[in-house]
Amino acid sequence: MSSFRSLDILNDLTGQTALVRVDFNVPMENGRVSDDTRLRSALPTIKLLSAKGAKVALLAHFDRPKGKIVPEMSLRPIVAPLEALLGHPVAFAVDCIGEPARLVLDGLKPGGVALLENVRFHPGEEENDPDFVSQLAALGHIYVNDAFSAAHRAHASTEGVARKLRAYPGLSMSRELAALDAALGTPRRPVLGIVGGSKVSTKLDLLRNLIDKLDKLAIGGGMANTFLYAQGHPIGASLCEKDLAETARDILAAAKAKGCEILLPIDLVCAEELKSGVLSVVRRVDEVAEQDKIFDAGPLSAARLTSVIDSVATVIWNGPLGVFEVPPFDAATVAVARHTASLAKAGSIIAVAGGGDTVAALNAAGVAQDFSFVSTAGGAFLEWMEGKPLPGVDALKIG
């Protein structure tokens, strides 16, 4: 984190406006916020800047209006729940640039907070248009990005403004960056990666990047079927990208050359259909029948993986080991998640997880709160794992 400025060094900000990029792309039902998790995650940064006397101008997007004003995608419905969480009024500007935004900000007292309208109502946002960037930057004195989940986009409010004003990561962003550095940047070794999901094709970049950085990599979910097929094991009627068999063999060979041990399932939970409570059977990897469909890693595979976790210092997880949404095919994911969480809670390992399905699986297992860090950033987390540059993060770096 030494390559980023810290908000802690800021003193009295009275008379200054802080442009703060937040992620308020929240779930809505009937015009109301149905999950305020993202609002809550922004509170520490907002409160810190407010306490230092800054006028806090919040920049955010909602949905995909594609550069046009779409009334149903206005951020106005977020004002009331944000006011309730902050405990004081939040002003609303009907535009994020120009006179409407300026008048609202001029009317704020030191420490006041304003939410500016959806930045994506302007085509210049996603185009990172220099003129739009300048209009945003003209509203503030400093810039703070507290939306890691949008950091993989080189948009005006995530990257452009950061290069116009003195830029800082927010508290939530800083916590995320520190956790990710602890997982893959400068981790305690050995490091184990757990990667699941349905298709190898969606995670090729991820796998190729991870075998360069990990000591061990466990592959689960439907994508494990492709690797098993590539090794000559029967997979019955299971999901499998047979056209990627050669790619899978190349990945296995590259991992071996780089000293990264690949862990594939040694037994599997099969059924003839994906249905809750359906009759299932555990098969060894060389015993899968023609009519079988593989829906989970077996108990021996889960036990072996928990044993491996006992031997490592860091675990990074993306993707479930089976179709966890449909019992009994959640068993391996739940068993491994609970074991990992118990060690992380005890301080024995660092355990970082991310990705929508992964977060849902950990919540279903009741252990998300016990991991060292769980990222809800989605696409940004995956691109970070793939080793891709994150424009919104790079723009915050000093020098």
Where do the domains of the chain lie, and which CATH numbers do they carry?
7-171 (3.40.50.1260), 187-385 (3.40.50.1260)
Known catalytic residue at 76 = no
> Sorting pLDDT into bands at 50, 70 and 90, what band is 207?
very high
Active-site residue (options: 356, 378, 387, 388): 356
Residue 1 CB neighbour total at 10 angstroms: 12
Cis amide bond preceding 65, omega within 30: no
Choose the catalytic residue: 53, 111, 236, 379. Answer: 379
pLDDT, average across residues 340-359: 95
Residue 249 annotated among the catalytic residues of the structure: no
7 and 48 Cβ atoms separated by less than 8 Å: yes
pTM comes to: 0.90
Q: What pLDDT is recorded for position 133?
A: 98
Tell me if residue 319 falls in helix, strand or coil: coil
Q: Supply the pLDDT for residue 379.
A: 87
> E strands of 3-129, at which residues?
17-21, 28-29, 32-33, 55-59, 90-93, 113-116
DSSP β-ladder status, 314-318 and 350-354: parallel
Q: What is the mean pLDDT of residues 231-256?
A: 97
Choosing from 38, 52, 120, 153, the catalytic residue is 38
Question: In this prediction, what percent of the chain has a pLDDT beyond 90?
Answer: 94
- Please determine, for residue 87, whether its predicted confidence score (pLDDT) is greater than 50: yes
Contact assessment for residue 201 and residue 227, using Cβ atoms and an 8 Å cutoff: no
* Res 38 pLDDT > 70: yes
Q: pLDDT category, 1, cuts 50, 70, 90?
A: very low
- The whole-angstrom separation of Cα 74 and Cα 173 is 24
> Given a cut of 80, is residue 63 above it in pLDDT?
yes
Average pLDDT estimate for 356-385: 92
The answer to whether 199 is a known catalytic residue is yes
Tokens 């406006």 sit on residue: 17
Catalytic residue among 199, 208, 304, 345: 199
The reported pLDDT for the residue numbered 134 is 98
DSSP state of 81: H
pLDDT for 374: 94
Q: Tokens for 57?
A: 């101008």
What's the CA gap between 168 and 393, in Å, rounded? 10
379 carries an active-site annotation: yes
274 and 293 in contact (C-beta within 8 Å)? yes
Measured distance CA(188)–CA(186) in Å, rounded:
7
Q: Please check the confidence at residue 288 and state whether its pLDDT lies above 50.
A: yes
pLDDT at 293 over 90: yes
Pick from 68-72, 239-243, 382-386: least confident:
382-386
Residue 399 has pLDDT above 80, yes or no: no
Is residue 210 within 8 Å of residue 195, measured between CB atoms?
yes
The mean pLDDT of the chain is 96
- Give me the pLDDT at residue 2, please: 55
